[in-house]
């Protein structure tokens, strides 16, 4: 699912989008910082996201992307659809969370490796601290660093960040000041949906049949 958020800063509106489905997503693999490309469904989802951006009359002054293929390709699809002519800026800190020993493992391994050290929602199980993985408090710190890097570059206007599930939610937490546990259970950040939330009540604008 693809989500969009906004956060108001001085002369800035920051939007956050998640990439479309990638090959690991389609096979139930925990990808983290693995660099697999979009599937055909993922490209379809990115196109739907771009269409929603166009329909809502949104334009961007800057588009920043994670260095991973699935995010950068999503950003490219958006720029082509909305005729954004500036270069996409790759921001390394937009990379997905390091999943540690769970990187490349099937989603079903979460219970075996983590036991009760998880947060369960209706559809997602978030693992908290398997060996070698970034924790959510660490990820919030990286989210704050992303926002600081944007300020340091003096970027103004509408800014789109194209990234991933866990880091995207923690950027949202950093921007709104909400506790990370609350953010994880407040809404789902998957491939294929478009969301325009405010700080109180994110709401789904579109939803494809390919929910991951």
Reply yes or no on whether 27 is catalytic.
Answer: no
> Which of 19, 62, 164, 210 is the catalytic position?
19
Distance separating alpha carbons of residues 168 and 164, to the nearest angstrom: 5
Reply yes or no on whether 19 is catalytic.
Answer: yes
> Which of 7, 62, 73, 96 is the catalytic position?
96
Q: 153-177 burial, b if ≥16 CB within 10 A, otherwise e?
A: eebeebbbbbbbbbbbbbbbbbbbe
Distance separating alpha carbons of residues 122 and 68, to the nearest angstrom: 28
Residue 186 Cα distances to 28, 79, 159, 189, angstroms: 23, 29, 24, 10
In terms of DSSP H, where are the helices of 83-132? Answer: 109-114
Residues annotated as part of the active site = 19, 96
């Amino acid at each position: 699912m693809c989500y969009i958020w906004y956060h108001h800063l001085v002369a800035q509106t920051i939007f956050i989008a998640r990439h479309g489905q990638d090959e690991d997503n389609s096979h139930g693999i925990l990808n983290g910082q693995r660099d697999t490309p979009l599937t055909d469904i993922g490209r379809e989802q990115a196109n739907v996201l771009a269409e929603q951006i166009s329909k809502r009359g949104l334009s961007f002054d800057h588009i920043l992307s994670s260095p991973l293929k699935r995010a950068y390709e999503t950003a490219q699809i958006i720029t082509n659809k909305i005729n954004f002519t500036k270069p996409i800026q790759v921001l390394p800190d937009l990379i997905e969370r390091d999943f540690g020993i769970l990187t490349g493992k099937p989603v079903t391994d979460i219970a075996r490796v983590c036991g009760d050290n998880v947060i369960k929602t209706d559809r997602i199980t978030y693992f908290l601290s398997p060996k070698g993985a970034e924790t959510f408090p660490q990820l919030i710190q990286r989210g704050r660093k992303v926002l600081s890097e944007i300020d340091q570059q003096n970027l103004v206007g509408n800014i789109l960040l194209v990234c991933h599930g866990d880091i995207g939610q923690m950027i949202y937490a950093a921007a709104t000041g909400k506790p990370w546990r609350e953010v994880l259970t407040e809404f789902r950040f998957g491939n294929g949906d478009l969301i325009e939330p405010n700080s109180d009540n994110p709401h789904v604008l579109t939803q494809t049949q390919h929910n991951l």
